[in-house]
Each structure stands twice: as structure tokens, then as C-alpha cells.
Chains A and B, each alone.
Chain A
Amino acid sequence: MRRVSITVNGAEHVLELEPRELLVYVLRERLGLTGTNVGCDTSSCGACTVLLDGESVKSCTVLGVQADGCEITTIEGLATNGSLHAVQEAFRAEHGLQCGYCTPGFVMATVGLLRETPKPSEDEIRHALEGNLCRCTGYHNIVRAVQAAAAEV
């Protein structure tokens, strides 16, 4: 067991973690933040994407102990004072989600993308989101949502 300190959505947590615990399970099972989903076991689908010190990462590929001293933002931490983040709003307005299981990952990946590239082209959007899989939307409306969010942010 190792003691770590992780700030999640602005709140600091001091935790005793097994070295093999993945960040996604620390978030989901230790902290009860179940908005971050698990869709695969090969880091392929991106459903578990969160922001680590502002950069989007797949939380199934990060060990909990590696997040020691880091700031994590999950889907639960995105809305402020009850209003949705511009990216969340854009996904809603553009019908960028259906079953919604991949959605927290897409939203976080988009927040990360727009931080780095505020006005991405369609091609840049499609390639930047290559690591996130959606089986419902065919990505058409996800791309529209990212474009709409980029216009807004």
C-alpha cells in the first residue's frame, strides 16, 4: 500500500492505494465517481478519459499511484454552479450522444482537445478523437458538437 494525495474536481483526497490499482477504479470505486466508464481492457475505447493536470488521459492506463500530487477532472467536475460546460451543452444541442456510455470520455477528450487546439478543423477533430470509440452515433454529430463547442469556447 502506498499513501497518495490526489485532487479530484477540486477536492483533495489522501488515499492508501495498492500499487496495481488503476486510476479509473480509484475514481469509480474508492471515490464513488462512477461517471467515468470502463469500456475495454486494452486502452482502446477511451470511455474512461479524464483530465490529468489539464491533459486528457485514459484513466485505465494510469496507475492510481502515478496520479500522486496531480489534479484530476472527471465528468462530474465539469459543470459549474449547475450549468453545463460548453462542451456538454454542445453535445446535447447537436445530439452527439445516444446510449451515452462513451460520452463522458468524449466530452473530456474534447475539453482536452480544445484547450490545445481552440479552433480545430474537421480533420483535426476526427484525428484527435481517434482514441475514443462510439458505437451509436457514427461520429457525425460528435464532430458537429466539437465544432459547435469550439465556436462557443
Chain B
Amino acid sequence: MTTVEQDVTLGRIVGTPVERKEDTALLTGQAVFVDDMSLPGMVWMAIVRSPYAHARITSVDVTPALAHRGVIAAFSGAELADEWQMSLPCAWLPTEDTKQPNHRPLVVDKARYVGDGVAVVVAETRGEARDAAELVHADYEPLPAVVDPEQALKDGAPLVHDEFGTNHCYTWTLSAGEVDEEFANAGVTIKERYRQQRLIPNAIEPRGVLVQPFPATGELTMWSATQVPHIARVTLSMVTGVPEAKLRVVAPDVGGGFGSKLNVYAEEALALVLARRLGRPIKWIETRSEGYQATTHGRDQIQEIELAATSEGNIRAVRARLTVGLGAYLQLVTAGTPLLGAWLYGGVYDIAAYDFECTGVFTTTTPTDAYRGAGRPEATYAIERAVDALARKLGKDPVELRRLNFIRGFPKTIASGLTIDSGDYDAHLDAALELLDYDELRKEQAGRRGRGDTKELGIGFSTYLEMCGLAPSRILGAIRYGAGGWDAATIRFLPTGTVQVLIGTSPHGQSHETTISQIVADQLGVDYDEVEVLHGDTAVAPLGMDTYGSRSLTVGGLAVYHAAERILAKARKIAAHQLEVGENDLEYDGGTFSANGSSLTTKELALQAWTAHNLPDGMEPGLEATYVFDPENFSWPAGTHIAVVEVDTETGAVDLIRYVAVDDVGKVINPNVVDGQIHGGATQGIAQALWEEAVYDEDGNLVTGSMVNYLVPSAAELPSFELGRTETPSPTNPLGVKGVGETGTIAATAAVMNAVVDALTPRGVTDIEMPATPERVWRAIEEVER
């Protein structure tokens, strides 16, 4: 592992809670989301979707729709089949023999989930397009559905893709050390089985797309509610045959993503080819209920985890086996998403041997893909629940058992093979216990138990480790991901002294304009308000890999940092030339180069670079620099989250009464932004534990088909958060940063479920399936009492 020198000069604005640049527009209704845009001549698209989970399509007749008022065009899947140069993109086929179905934007032969597109209608207005879509006549021959990944693997299960002769998509393994030997010699072993229920991401802005064609030149501009304008441009060019150089993709203001907009969707491809075909701007906006079917889901895994430990509780080996419901098709990173957790089933524990196997399975359901944390919340859940199970078996306190096994001494290469650069797990555990007042709470818990209180108290821990900052390109190549993990930035110091920063990451709530401005202002010695961050438009910032996997600071922010260093290096050369001193004689501080009592500011040097009247021989005019940063290692945030719940044993109701989180995300650029990410991330993790579940019936109907019956929590369900922070700067980047976007979600689910089980341990309950609804909790109590 290569370590780099930390830049300790930043700290004027970096590290302070400056108010966000994004807020004024968002607070006054001036933000521009896709649905806020319209263009002259614009028409609307609506998709006809299969009402069956699995059905052969015998005919599709669009003529009744064509007769409807305002309708301009309507096509079946077969009628558009020639438009597609390839399948909708899947960037990650984890094994050589991974089965990749041909995923057309509209199906031709059969529908494979409720919501699979079978036809498209274009009309003058939103209402006309939707009304006419209802008139398209499609005949279906229903086939049996299969919604459960384990059922789908059984002989005789209905085949989602007949051509493969199986629903098995791939099996990926990772093994290190003498696992069998460790299990054979173990003083104690445990084996647990957990279900990661399917989740619906629920960004509050639904997806939407608007495409403007320029028929004279063949250019097309697409505005999309996406996290990945750059990836969309590359892949949609390949899908539609629009030359990449003629395709501009813009992510305008985007209202949340959480992984659900880390994708390239059928509707984007359809809007592009129809705009090209019809020569008119085309707009499509998802309804929420439509999105529940047509936008990727998350999780859907069966996990089996085994621990081998000494009788004192030293964990020696971990075995993990996953069976993952991929849904009907492979979207962008469907197959690889569970593998983002593949290295983490050993958690923060110093183990000797490791064995991981993941099998991906097709089912007749909406495809799963990345959802906040993507693979890592699942890994954390399994190991953190299993460590609690081990503690129960050994009669040890869960805190004590964790401490006994913590990884210490960094950098540390863990059993699964990656190297953790830094951390101090005792520090955040200690800080969290102090915030919590652990001993006092255990006393209260015992007191309630002693007096037979029907409301039990439960305390649950999650000492998590995250692998983020996606990702070193060489490692991505080694695990068969189809692109690199670098990111890019261009900094342009304008002649009048303001600075443009073009970034390749694409925010949708993460505050990039604010935090990137903080870094650049400190480095170049300009005011925070003199920095303008531009993003999300392939015509403005053509190079980039977009926003997901907590990478925008740890990869994109480092590209910005290094670009600014290049600006300073050039400015130093000009200053040395004009002040007639050696470059090394110049002191640099807060935007000013000085030597022997004379000085030049970066702003003055920007003007000098622009006029180019007096530059060193051979120097290019202008003060602009680009840097493409490819990280050498992942980054490794970690922390301790503790949930305190009250469980009403008479009704099964779980009340989350406290939530303590102490995170080590390395250096902090803006504490408000970091805290906000943790609040929101933890809330999504808590919601998986207690409320959220996408349910399919056996016919493949999405029973939780709208926000009415899928419980996205409101303020009323949640407590205030109690946060603390410890800091071990990452030694692998000069900013010392580690990433924070997913930590809360990764940590929270295990903490809450461990708390629920902890509350009911004296009653003999050792597991409850998620979400821990009152019914499930009540039944679990009843079952052991019987």
C-alpha cells in the first residue's frame, strides 16, 4: 500500500459548516428537475406494461391507440426491434459463464415481470399518451411465475429465460485460508440464516427523461433524472447507434437516487430512438406506482453465514453463502451488486480464513440492482447478527466479544485479501458507549426484566466496516467490471479571478457544489463564492464516471485536488518568472506567492496567464488543468452504531427510542453535510429493519405496489440521532478522506435487529425476519412461549 503525504494546509474553509450553495434554488422553487422542463413541439411518451409476471405475448395491436385524440405514434416491441444495436447495458458479468439475457427496451416474445414494457405510445399531452396506452391491445398467454430465488433454482421451476435451460445466472466464489480446518478445530461454531428482503429505493423524485433531437446534424440531447450521465452516454450510444460524439446527456437537478438512478433504463433508450425517428422532443415522466415496477429494487438475498471460533470467542473463520434474486434481467450492475460485499463478511474482526460464495438467480420480478450500500449493508448485517449470535452462545457481552476480535494495527491485509489502510475501532466503540451510557441502560434493561415489565428494552450494536471509494480500475478489471473506476476534474482559473470547476461526478443531493468549492477555495486562496462547480452535463464536463459507491469525494474530490495542485504548479512557474526568483524560493500561502518582499496572487497570475504577455518561454497561455484520478485502494470508513428499542411484548410493536452513531469517515470537509448523510443513511437502514418490504404474491404481482402499502418512514417513526465522530485520516490520499454516503445504511439495519433480538433474548427469541413488524415480533414471542 502506497501512503501519501497529507495536505495539512487546508483548513480555512475545509472542515467548516458553510451554508450550502445548492439551497437557495431548492428552497425557492427555482431548481430545475426534468419534469420542470418543456420544449417547443414537445410530445409525451407512455409505456404499455405487462400486467403478468410471466406471459408469452401472442399479439400486440397498437391501432386502437393510434385512433385516440392527440396520438402521434405507437409501436409494439416487435416494431422497434430493429432499432437496438445491443441489449440494454449490463456492465458487470462476474464470471466467464454468467448468463446475460438479451434485454430489449420493449419485449417481443414474452414478458418476464409485471411492468415489463410491451409497447410505447407518443401523444401531444401527458394525459393523451397515458389514456391511449390503455387502448393498446396485447394478448398474453400467462405462464407460471417464480418470485423466490431458492424456488427458482429447483428442478422444474418455470424458466425466466428459456434459452438458458436454468434460472441460475452465475456462481462467484472467493476463498482464502484453511477454512475447513478452522471449522474442524473450532471450539464453537454457529450457523445462521438471514433473509435480506427486497426493498424499493424511493428517491422522492420519480425518474424522467426528455430528449431533444437536432435532425439536421443527427445530434441528440437527453436530460435524464440519472446519477450517471456519463455512463448513460457511452452505453446508450452503443444501444441506439447514436454516435457518442453526437449524444449529449444532462443530469439537471436530480431529486435523490440511492442507486435507483445508477442505471441505464429502457425509457431512456426509447425516448432517444423515438425522438430520432419522429424528429420531435419527447418527454416521459414516471408515475410513482409505475416506478415501483419499472425502477430497480434492492437487496433480495438469502444469506447463510457460519462462524468458527475458539471456546474463548476468538473468531477464526467465516463462511458465507448467498442466493440472490436478480429479477428478470441484468440491469447495469445487477449481477455484481451483492459482490460489493464479498470481502466484508468478516467485518471488523481479525479472522484467519474466509470463504464466500454467491449465486445469482433469475426470477419473474423487477430487476434488483444497487441500493444505498449495495452489497455492504447485507454483509454487515450477516456478520453483525452472527457475532451477536456467537456472543449469546458463549454467554458473553456483545461489546466484549467484538473487542476481543477487532482488527488492530494498520495497514492490515484482511483474510478476504484486501488491505485496510487505517482505522481505530476501539476509539469509535468507546465514544459510542460513552454517548449511550451503556452500563446505565443495561441496568434499566435488567430492572424491567426483574419486575416483569411487558415493554422490554433492547440494545443492539453494529461495528461496521465499509469498503468504498469505487474504485481502483485495475481491481475492477480483475473482477470483470466493464469500465474503470477513475474520475476527472478540470479547473479553469478565469482572467477576472473566479474559478470554474468541472467535475465528472454527478450529484443528486450530496452537496458537491458546496464541498468541492470548499476544497478549491482553500487550495487556490479564493473566496468560497468565487468558485463555481459545474457538473452533470457531458458537454460541459465530458470526462467522468458519475456518482455512486461513496466515490464523489474519495475519487472525484481527489481529481479536483490534484487538478488544483497542477494549477498551483503552473502559477508558481509564472510567479517565479515574473518575480525573477527560483520556484523553490517562493512561499505559498492562502493564494499568494511571495519572495523577497514582493508577491503575486493566484488571481493576478490567472490574468497574467490569460494575457500571456510575460510567460516563461514555451509556456502555454491560460491557467487551466485537468486531472484524472484513479485510486490505488478502496477507502475504509468504519464506526459503531447502537440502537435502543422498546418492544411491547403484548402487541409486538417496536419503538426505536435512541440511535447513537459514531463514525470515522476520515477527514471531514463539511460537518453538516457529513452528519446529514449519516442521518439519512441510517434512516434507510433502520427502515429495512422495521418497516420496508417489497412483497410479491406467488403469481408475481407486486403487492406493495404504491407508497400506500410500502412503508417509507415519516418523521413520526424516527427519533433524533445522537452522533459522534472519531477521525483516522486515510493515509492513501492527501485529503485524508474516506467517504460517507453509505455508512449509515450499512451500519443501521444490523444495529436495529440486534436490538430487537436483544430485547427478546430472555424470552428465547433468537431471530426475527425483517422487517420486524408487530405481527412478526408478536408471532415470534408466541411461538417460543408455545
Contact = CB atoms under 8 A, between A and B. Distances in A.
Q: Are both chains from one complex?
A: yes
Interface of A: 28, 33-42, 44-45, 47, 74-76, 78-79, 84, 88, 91-93, 95, 97-104, 107, 122, 125-127, 129-143
A118 to B, nearest CB: 19
Interface stretch (B408-416, B437-445, B715-723): B715-723
B64 interface: no
B672 interface: yes
A142 B721 CA distance: 12
Given A34-B36, A140-B721, A45 B27 contact: no
Contact of B29 (A38, A42, A75, A135): A75
The binding surface of chain B is classed by DSSP as loop
B706 A42 contact: yes
Nearest to B714: A130
B673 interface: yes
Contacts of A127: 715-716
B27 A129 contact: no
A35 B509 contact: no
Nearest to B17: A95
Contact of B23 (A40, A92, A104): A92
Nearest to A102: B204
Contacts of B27: 75, 84, 88, 91-92, 97, 100, 103-104, 107
Contacts of B708: 42, 44
Contact of A134 (B20, B204, B511, B721): B204
A30 B511 CA distance: 32
A133 B510 contact: no
A136 B256 contact: yes
Contacts of A45: 204, 288, 707, 712
A80 to B, nearest CB: 12
A100 B26 contact: yes
Contacts of B510: 98
A35 B679 contact: no
Nearest to A92: B23
Contact of B715 (A92, A97, A139): A139
A88 B25 CA distance: 11
B715 A129 contact: yes
Given A135-B256, A141-B676, A104 B707 contact: no
Contact of A39 (B23, B30, B206, B676): B206
Q: Give the interface centre of A36, A37, A38, A98 by most chain B CB atoms within 10 Å.
A: A98
Contacts of A75: 27-29
A100 B714 contact: no
Contact of B509 (A28, A84, A100, A131): A100
B198 interface: no
Given A41-B706, A135-B684, A140-B721, A101 B29 contact: no
Contact of B204 (A99, A126, A130, A140): A99
B33 interface: yes
A37 B35 CA distance: 9
Contacts of A28: 35-36
A9 to B, nearest CB: 10
B706 A40 contact: yes
B78 to A, nearest CB: 30
